[in-house]
Structure 1
Amino acid sequence: MNPLELPFDADAMLADLRPWIECESPTFDAAAVDRMMDLAACDMAVMGAVIERIPGRMGYGGSVRARFPHPDRGRKPGILILGHMDTVHPVGTLDALPFRREGGICYGPGIMDMKGGNFVSLEAIRKLAQAGLETPLPVTVLFTPDEEVGTPSTRDLIEAEAARHAYVLVPEPGHDDGGVTIGRYAIARFNLRTAGQPSHAGARLQDGRSAIAAMAHKIEEIEAMTGPDCTFSVGVIHAGQWVNCVSSVCDAEALSMAKKQQDLDDGIARMMALQGDVNGVEFSVTRGVTRPVWRPDTPGTARIFEVAKGIAGELGFELEGRSQGGGSDGNFTGAMGIPTLDSLGVRGAGLHTLTEHIRVDSLTERARLMAGLLMRLG
């Protein structure tokens, strides 16, 4: 049977996907992420996979690794499907963004980024098995808990697992036109702190040195460094507890992104050079996690993109491959030189917002694309 003609049913897929979406799993809630991993582990165990639960660390949830039966398992490198189960949406988001279908659109927290793509990948494996089709290579699935914060606790796990495989497929959200990602920009994160001098804001304002005010000036300075080669933005800030106290400490987080590794390295140097004392307030910068450049001209990735492009043509659409910003765990595997295709997941819009949704028809399209890749990569 042609894997591109497998009987995928979007309505049935949505029904099975719904429990995943209604199991909220924000990165910083390890117990919630572990509950989501329980659901995925159970579904894959029912499919016949050998399940391994890998405990979390650094305060994050655990990971799930599933190895599907194959006669060549352990004898030759296979295909790794790599996804994350954490989302940016806090528990309670379902009140404002409930799982619901409106015509050809389906809404829900994390449905696009990236539970929909993860689920579609499993559905492709399930339908291939039900049809008695054996993939040329063994298939392993690895779901991790911390991608949305830069993968601080599982990068080594991802790289070690990817090194055992011939190919990596990442079902992050697909592009608007159905295209896939064949390269990603480099990203660096920074932890910022200003340390000032506290005082009573009403009685002794002049004695204080505001950490908040100093951070505000630094944020303007940091974001003004943005240029065509490297961007800088501050997206998190924490400070203060009493309005009648001049703030003594302010913490913030910054992100920098560049298309070329050298440009990012230069940007990191510029950021680190901002440290020092200004008017009695100390400003410090600590390097956070970094995603390396994944170059779009990697030969192995180009080869599997051509396979994907041929499959898309049979499915009736033209597949574009592009390098883009917005990091993923594909940065790591692509930078290692392992043939990697990213953005194989569902199409939609509004990711990371209260309008996050997917196109229902993309469920079957992407399931067929994934099934075709699993059958033709060998």
Structure 2
Amino acid sequence: MALTDLDLDTDRLLAGLQRWIECESPTFDVTAVNRMMTLAAEDLVAMGATVERVAGPDGLGDCVKASFPHPRQGEPGILIMAHLDTVHPIGTLDKLPFRREGDRCYGPGILDMKGGTFAALQAVRALIAAGIETPLPVSVLLTSDEEIGSPGTRPLIEAEARRHRAILVPEPAINGNGVVSGRYAIARYNLTAQGRPSHAGASLKKGRSAIREMAGRILAIEDMTDDDCTFSVGVVHGGQWVNCVSTTCRAEALSMAKRQDDLDKGKARMLAMTETREDGTGFSVTLGVVRPVWEPQEGTMALFALAEQVAAELGMTITHGSSGGGSDGNFTGAMGLPTLDGLGLSGDGYHTLGEYILVDSLVDRARLMAGLLSRIGLPAEEA
């Protein structure tokens, strides 16, 4: 059967995807994430998968593991790896409702990465419906904390990945229709400025503002950005009363580099900013989650060669490249495991109120995923 003959209908896929998009699941809302995991688990069970619920990291939502029936069940196979948490808070649907406008479809998390994840599972469903048995068993891992760097699920990700021969990640496509064969190194930092309190009206000069300290440090941090390593501060919390000189201000920063050595140098510069003065005021930096650099390796390029072959059969041309955005593919790629990322949908605006997918990519990428699943593990002369 040709890949174009698989049962993948755009309108039906959009209707199914709408259920996922309207089940909002911001990372820090455990109830919401678990509700989304339940929805995905129900879909997997309906497809015939065996599903295991994994208790989430402390203070975060659960994860879901699933495996599909296969004669070689238990042998190293293919892992479809994705996250179902999003950056959009509950209520975003009021501002960014699920809607189709021409060749675009909008919604919170639709591109990053519910759309790609849904399409990947529909690819499996279509293969099952067509009676096509994949050469290798297929498993799925859905995690709950990727948007904050996967601080709690990295051990689970790495343990599951080691059990498989190939890892496929349906994060958003790059450069239009491209896939990801590597990712930059990323580090997160926790920043704390410590001030000295006083009454802002009656004795302003007796105090030392933690907010002012942080403001100066933010400028210094972001000014460290160069071609080798970028620095940005994206979260700031400080003060409690406007008539009090602030005692504490906290922030979070992120650095990104194409090479691990450049990231390591950036980490050293950040950590060297820690300073405590005799009066107890000062500034501290602690290292948070780190995603290692993932550089293309032989196994990944072999997966891309297969993807290129499948795309050609579908009348498409795809490219590959490294991406600055982090994903859980950083972990598996850095482990040296064959990993192909960016297999999700085409679109733009993720992490914003303009997030959308290109509707045609829903079926196109599902077919691409189906083609990969049906070829990975075949002898070279048959692939």
TM-score bucket (shorter structure): over 0.9
Question: In the alignment, what sits opposite 2:329?
Answer: 330
CA-CA distance at 1:313 after TM superposition: 1.2
Residue 154 of structure 1: aligned partner: 153
Tell me which residue corresponds to 1:179. Answer: 178
Q: In 2, are the aligned partners of 1:176 and 1:348 still within 8 Å (CA)?
A: no
Contact 1:190 1:254 (C-alpha < 8 Å) held by counterparts: yes
Corresponding residue for residue 365 of structure 2: 366
Q: Within 5 Å, give how 1:199-238 maps onto structure 2.
A: 199-238=198-237
CA–CA separation in structure 1 for the residues paired with 2:57 and 2:310: 39
Aligned to 1:43: 43
Structure 2 residue 320 is matched with structure 1 residue 321: yes
1:54 corresponds to which letter in structure 2? V
Contact 1:186 1:327 in 2 (8 A): yes
Per-residue deviation, residues 302-348 of structure 1 (Å, max 9, x unmatched): 11100001111111121101011010000000000110000000111
Q: Give unpaired runs (5+ residues) of structure 2.
A: 378-383
Kept after mapping to 1: 8 A contact 2:176/2:347: no
Give the letter for the 2:365 counterpart: R
Match of 1:262 in 2: 261
* Distance across 2 between alignment mates of 1:202 and 1:345: 55
CA distance in structure 1 between the partners assigned to 2:58 and 2:263 by the alignment: 26
Q: In the alignment, is the contact (CA less than 8 A) between 2:3 and 2:314 conserved in 1?
A: no
Residue 88 of structure 1 pairs with residue 87 of structure 2? yes
Query: What is the alpha-carbon distance in structure 2 between the residues aligned to residue 23 and residue 144 of structure 1?
Result: 16
Q: 2:380 matched to which residue of 1? A: none
Assess if the C-alpha contact under 8 Å between 1:275 and 1:285 holds in 2: yes
TM-superposed deviation, 1:102: 1.0
- Are 1:4 and 1:372, in contact at CA under 8 Å, matched by a contact in 2? no
Deviation (angstroms), 1:47: 0.5
Q: What's the CA shift string for 1:57-98, capped at 9, x where partnerless? A: 221101000111101011x21000000000000000000001
Amino acid at match of 2:61: G
State how far apart, in whole Å, the 1-side matches of 2:5 and 2:287 are. Answer: 49
Matches of 2:249 and 2:124 in 1, distance apart?
48
TM-score of the superposed pair, with normalisation by structure 1: 0.98
Contact 1:3 1:375 in 2 (8 A): no
Trace 1:121-200 onto structure 2 (pairs within 5 A). Answer: 121-200=120-199
Q: 1:302 is matched with which residue?
A: 301
Tell me, what secondary structure is at the counterpart of 1:17? helix
- Matched residue, 1:73: 73
Describe the SS at the equivalent of 1:167: strand
1:80 aligned counterpart, secondary structure: strand
Give how far 1:279 is off. Answer: 8.6
How many aligned positions are there? 376
Distance 2:192 2:15 in 1: 46
Aligned-partner residue type, residue 248 of structure 2:
V
Equivalent-residue separation in structure 2 for 1:150 and 1:71 (angstroms) = 36
Letter in 2 for 1:38: T
Cα deviation for residue 176 of structure 1 reads 3.8
- Give distance in 1, aligned partners of 2:328 and 2:206: 48
Helix, strand or coil at the partner of 1:376:
coil
Give distance in 2, aligned partners of 1:93 and 1:175.
25
Determine what percentage of the aligned residue pairs are the same residue: 63
- Counterpart secondary structure, 1:364: helix
The one-letter amino acid of 1:48's match is G
List gaps (5 residues or longer) in structure 1: none
| 1:7 to partner: Cα distance | 2.9
Shift of 1:5: 3.0
The answer to whether the aligner puts 1:29 opposite 2:29 as a matched pair is yes
Equivalent residue number for residue 381 of structure 2: none
Q: What CA deviation, in whole Å up to 9, does each residue of 1:22-53 have, x standing for no partner?
A: 00000010110000000000000010100000
Structure 1 residue 246 and structure 2 residue 245: aligned? yes
What SS is found at the alignment partner of 1:52? strand
Q: CA RMSD in A?
A: 0.9
Distance (Å, rounded) in 1 between the aligned partners of 2:87 and 2:203:
41
Whole-angstrom CA distance in 2 between matches of 1:275 and 1:29: 32
SS state at 1:127 partner? helix
**Distance in 2, Cα, partners of 1:324 & 1:23:** 28
Q: Please name the residue that 1:289 is paired with.
A: 289
Query: Is the partner of 1:253 in helix, strand or coil?
Result: strand
Q: Against the structure 1 CA distance between its residues 278 and 229, is the aligned structure 2 distance closer, same or farther, given a 3 Å change threshold?
A: farther
**Deviation at residue 2 of structure 1 after TM alignment:** 2.4
Is the contact made by 2:294 and 2:333 (CA closer than 8 Å) also made in structure 1?
yes
Helix, strand or coil for the counterpart of 2:116? helix
Indicate yes or no: 2:8 matched with 1:8. yes
Contact 2:50 2:67 in 1 (8 A): yes
User: Does the CA contact (< 8 Å) of 1:5 and 1:368 recur in 2?
Assistant: no
* Structure 1 contact 183–294 (Cα < 8 Å) conserved: yes
Counterpart position of 1:273? 272
**Contact 2:99–2:105 at 8 Å: present in 1 too?**
yes
Question: In structure 2, what is the Cα distance between the partners aligned to 1:356 and 1:175?
Answer: 15
